Amino acid sequence: MDHKAPLLENLWGIGWLDFNLSTVLMTFIASVIVFILGVASAKSLQRKPTGLQNFMEWVVDFVKGIVGSTMDWKTGKQFLPLGLTLLTYIFVANMLGVMFMVVTGDHYLWWKSPTSDPGVTLTLATLVVALSHYYGIKLKGVKEYGKEFFRPMPFLFPLKIIEEFANTLTLGLRLFGNIYAGEILLGLLAGLATTGIAGTLGAAIPMLAWQGFSTFIGAIQAFIFTMLTMVYMSHKVSEDH
């Protein structure tokens, strides 16, 4: 299915400052959904949780398991809110494009997964890596943290710098590639369904199957992103790394 991105170009007369309006819209919608989930699950807390509160407590325990598997809990408990936010936000963002896509008559794609935009995923990855450096300096001090780049051998320093850039790229592009590829195939199946009755019948079952598979991939990618975030944090803040 052919479509275009609704761009706001040359903002404030700056030639390189362009915004994808659909990405901005969907990022905002994903943020609102996560905020509503958080408020709704904590609105009427009960000693014996049910419904949404029970589900969110399970998610919190799941993130605790991720954090606990990468570092000791005394150090890692401060990263629980970060892990919980990343897991829920990325999962919701991944799911938005699985449900449906909205393309207007002028072929502009407005409804999609914001994580199918490399600008979003690479920004998330950059923030995660920057946070890992921040907490590393905060917990170890500038001098001790700086020594980590020269261990175990000083000549490895250039490779460790390259590793930081590689971690950022792989973390962001892995998420983008999986979600973008899924949306491309869903778009092709949707285009097939518009060709007539035969196309609709031929696309119906593959569409449902691929939506189910994309849901699984979206959940796995949210987990992987959160897990790797905690691994990177662990490498920066733990004494045994």
**pTM for this one?**
0.88
DSSP bridge partners of 8: 19
Amino acid at 147: K
108 dihedral zone (left: phi>0; alpha: psi -120 to 50; beta)? beta
Where are the domains positioned within the chain? 7-237
Task: Say how many residues make up the chain.
Answer: 241
CB 47 within 8 Å of CB 35: no
d(CA 29, CA 23): 10
73-120 pLDDT tens trace: 888 899 999 999 999 999 999 999 887 777 676 777 888 899 999 999
| Mean pLDDT computed over every residue of the chain | 86
**Interatomic CA distance for residues 61 and 49, integer angstroms:** 14
- pLDDT tens for 168-206 read 999 999 999 999 988 888 877 777 777 777 777 777 788
Query: DSSP letters of 9-33?
Result: -SGGG-TT--EEHHHHHHHHHHHHH
Q: Is the peptide bond before 152 cis (omega within 30 degrees of 0)?
A: yes
Query: What is the rounded distance in angstroms from the CA atom of residue 237 to the CA atom of residue 145?
Result: 9
